[in-house]
Amino acid sequence: MFGFLSSSFLYLTPLGTNIRMFLANTVIETQHRDWAWIFVGAKKRDEMINAIGLMSDANAKEAQDLSAITIRKHEGELTKVEDISGHGWVGKKMYVYDPRALRVVVPNTVGQGERITSMVQRTGAIAGVNGGGFDDPQGLGNGFAPVGVIMSGGKILYTGVDGTVPQHVVAFTKEGKLVIGKYPIDQLLQMHVTDAVSFYPRVIANGKALPIEGDGLNPRTAIGQRADGVIILVVIDGRQPPYSIGATLKEVQDLLLAEGCINAGFLDGGASSEMVVNGQLITKPSSKYGERRLPSALLVFEHPDKIQVPNIWDGLTKIDPGGAYDNPGYIADMQKQHSNKPKTTSTPNAKASATRTPEPTQTPGVIETPSPSPEGSLAPSPGVTPSVKPTVSPTPAVTPTGRPSVSPTPGATPGETPTGTPSGKNK
């Protein structure tokens, strides 16, 4: 009776329909977008995913008026961090008073991403947040396969396409002006962009709010810039009731508008969302295994010009995005579960043993071990083509295998736009 009444409410009433749509949007923004069909059906799910992709592309089109930003010299503390909260969520807000203090930093070990606390401690940064999206099979990726483009110090460290193909970016010019939208690398270089990662959607352009399509509750990382050049970084925890469930895109958009941001958008979200200050993690990532290994971060430095970021993808022709088979936390968890299983013993029946015909046994020394697959189930774009091709100089581009994980709206295949198609996410 309870199931009948619940189903009737969810599927036969306007309020129930709204609840199902909200739940579907939340799932679409995670690693498991395919499961949104449970709430709205496969056809409607695909329509919703398509609408989010179209929104992200449309919001990226308006050209920014960079003359509206005036970078002012700031003396005193470079950053300030405040607690923030909303309906069912908590998080942190960081002011960076000199935008030129921000740099994109990447891991220092070939083959795996790096935790933000490690990046901050290793480089001597003041603070930092997670950066762009990455291929993330099963939500357990190793953080070494970026999505889109990565630039640091004026150098192209990674890209999946040549310089003429537009990509969603969150970037900074050498003057410290925030650039958010969809640009080819050639144009970014003409704009004197020095540092960039890829993510979306853009939600504020030239001082006005942009439309939002589809909106669930998830962990978020966002960035905005005021007319005086001050950067505002927002990290909201989520997926941890009752501590913090997560925020909608609209809630974060409203927060950044209230702060006076004239341009704003999102960085990777979901389990990747985190903020580190003075080497300490001050937010609570939703990942089961703690801080995730990531391909990029936005870090704050007192002397950003002195920071040298090596290109760990230089010369590579293939990138393994990882997965369950090489995630230390997952492997340890599986080993623990296996060791905790009770061992059963049986006493053989002597009479039966004496009369039973022996069965064939396995050939000695031959053990069949299934090979783990790196393929993940990730939203919302199709799997990334595992082909490799050199693209923009100075660094040859490599295309990873797997699927991109991004949130709040799932990311796009490297070099592709999310038209009709994110983790955080959102892994």
pLDDT in tens, 380-390: 333 333 333 33
pLDDT at 358 over 60: no
Q: What pLDDT is recorded for position 24?
A: 76
Q: What pLDDT digit, counting tens, does each position of 217-230 carry?
A: 999 999 999 999 99
Instruction: Summarize the confidence of residues 226-237 as an average pLDDT.
Output: 98
pLDDT given at position 31 = 63
Residue of 126 and 27 predicted with greater confidence: 126
Residue with tokens 């801080």: 291
Q: pTM for this structure?
A: 0.79
> Two tokens at 288?
């089961």
Give whole-number Cα distances, 136 to 67, 77, 140, in Å.
Answer: 38, 37, 6
Q: What's residue 84's pLDDT?
A: 98
Q: What is the 3-state secondary structure of 66-133?
A: HHHCCCCCCCCCCEEEEEEEECCEEEEEEEECCHHHEEEECCCCCCCCECHHHHHHHHCCCEEEECCC
Q: What is the pLDDT of residue 135?
A: 95
